[in-house]
Amino acid sequence: MPPRGSSTAINPVRLQTVSRLKIRHPDKQEPNPCLGPMTAMLNCWAAGAASGGCGHLEKALRDCMDAPKPPPKGKSTINHHLGRLYPMISGPKKKT
């Protein structure tokens, strides 16, 4: 129940107008899959382990580096479609 003396009319929320819609980074960069094996190998070397102790880590890194690279994903078209459809969503612009 509203307090006494206040209006019961519902006031719509006014949002700030936007000249154009745009998503900042639609294409997320995938992390390097060889980062984990390389970090493990460097930590092993930094710990002072002999080359023989880090051999399995070196092999894992070599296998990762020699693996074929996945094909690049296509660029996201979300900003193109937002720019194309935004005038239909926002309605006609006021002439000043």
CA distances 38 to 4, 32, 33, 45, 54, Å, are 69, 10, 10, 11, 11
Entry pTM: 0.49
Per-residue model confidence (pLDDT) at position 2: 65
pLDDT for the residue numbered 35: 93
Domain limits of the chain? 34-44+51-64
What angle (nearest 5°) sits at the alpha carbon of residue 86, between those of residues 85 and 87?
Answer: 95
Q: How many CA atoms lie within 13 A of 80 on its CB side?
A: 3
- Name the H helices within 1-91: 35-46, 55-66, 78-90
pLDDT of residue 91: 67
10-residue mean pLDDT profile of the chain (96 residues): values are 70 68 76 90 84 84 91 82 78 67
